[in-house]
Chain A
Amino acid sequence: MLQLVLFNLFNGLIIGAFYVLLALGLSMILNLSNVINFAHGNFLALGGYFAYVLIPYIGFWPALIVSPLLTAVLGLIIERTMIRRIYGRDPIYSLLLTFGLAFMIQDACRYIWGVNGLPLTTPASISQPLSQEFFFLTGYRLFVVGIVIIAVAGLFAFLRYSRMGMRIRAGVLDLDTVSALGINVRLLRSLNFAGGIFLAGLAGVLAGGQIGLNPNMGDSLLLPSFIAIIIGGMGSLVGTLLGGLLIGVAAAITTMFYASASDTIIYVIMALVLLVRPRGLLGEEGML
């Protein structure tokens, strides 16, 4: 029994790591641009499909970097042509826009790659369980966790130590002042948006290797990622990190005892957290 609980704890952390990756990208965009990106899960799917197309030509490892980059470029184009036009308007319009984008991308994926699931081939070197005992720690899942740790560490270092990162953090706190100081806010937002989409694309390649690709693959991940942000508290990337891990573990432990509620438990947790701490675990000021 104890062993089972420990297994599920670890397993939950692995699941949670995945939410973290998606939630961080969402959170970046939400914090700086005040845009709720409902198309984030569809950018994730795009990242996976790009990898599917690229792997036969360039192999898995390059595709792991190139596909998210392509997704980010697409995100940049969309930001420059569409998202930009709703900055400063009531955030509810970003909802209509990103819902529309979500529908369009999802249907485009269906049209191009079909409704049936497609497999994403991962290198044999990371596809096996590592040990008989800890069978759920497959090489691939540990690899995913490793990538998430690198991405998170990279993102935090970037925000803390690079000039650009400091500007982004400042912009989250007070965009007007940053703008008044002569910093190009438009460029800042564009790059920040592209960065968030890059993380979504990366998550897409990783998810594709685990469960394969289908046009709706991002749907079931999107809402839990939002919840991770909210539980952690908006504006705090550390909070997002905590929130993602928390819901992953909660879902896994719930599966042990009452599996059919494993979807619902994360909503219950969110409701409880917000009733006790209206701004989430580490959040400060609400927006929208």
Chain B
Amino acid sequence: MDLSYSTEYETFRGEVRAFLAEHWPPKGDEAALKKREQESRFRRRATEAGYLNRSIPKRYGGSEQAPDLLRAGIIREEFNRVRAPMEVAGLGMMMLVPTLLECGAEWQKEQFVARTVSGEIFWGQGYSEPNSGSDLASLRTRGELIDGANGPEWIINGQKIWSTFAQYAHYMFALVRTEPDAPTKHAGISYLLIDLKQPGITVRPLKQMTGGEEFCEVFFSDARTPAHWIVGARGEGWKVSKATLKHERSSVGGAAASRDLFLKLLELARRTPRNGKPAIADPLIRDRLVQLQGSVESHLYSSYRQLSMAGRGQDPGPVTLMNKLVSTNIGHDIARLARDIIGDDLMIAPQAEGAGGAGPEKWNNQFMGALGVAIAAGTSNIQRNVIAERGYGLPRDPATDKT
């Protein structure tokens, strides 16, 4: 057990700082460029230097570095310190890229990975449907293979929902029922890549309770995609989609994000007055802050342990299945404590996320947003099933038995 920064790491931190001092914020002619272009150039350089996209092979636009959570932590700290851009955000990076790297055909990796990593193309996710939420494998959007004018292609009909930022996306990775006669519902699904910019597709943003529009409904009416835009074989879509979850679960991001949010809560407690003193001086608030700190640090050390073990090919056990629920629970706890610190501002509607000049009521976005987290990407109740069944070997629920 050794969490110390050896000289090697202090040297590394110096290198990162020197790199940032030179490249961010942009200088000279580049200072006049649009933010998007500045970020894109910076990301390219930071990737060449080995600081970003570390788990992605060089030939697909990454920097192909050995996993090292301490280095990754130093990069995150130093980049955040000067507000330099990290990797491109979005589900294309989180889900599609690891999926293609693991299951994609060579041409798919070449055509899509580097452009996704660079931010040139952006992806929407086509998983959930109005009648297929937690029971995702019951999905009904159909794909039919026909011989079209431009060769064999899939004709897609149906509807997807909860597609994150699909209104800005160029492409979608989607689960589609292509084998209606397959023996099980899971075996009938394929993983297709679809160009969203075509006449057969309508994207309609959904307004959520925070007032933001992060999700969309996507309607398919004889939409088309070439036959070879399939990842894995026909009927293997379910398996392909699961391959990504493995990567998600081993990510340390959730715990670090929980800690960052906790630090913001501490700031709130420091600057919010309560009975003539900062809220952080109130014994009740202090007690709850330490309770939260216990959860946050547990989560962080748990992620260190998981990464250390994974790096040595050891199995950390059922805890790997708990990360999402742990992050969700911490998010709820932080939201509740923020609620009690902001007092009357709980009654004020927040500006949409990302809008400037927000007061304490912006914590209402966390108060509501924590509910979104509890639902998205496998609800907390689904997580509990997974933990109990896969983590502790309890028998499957009768209703989901026949999968």
Do the two chains belong together in a single complex? no
B interface with A by C-beta (< 8 Å) = none
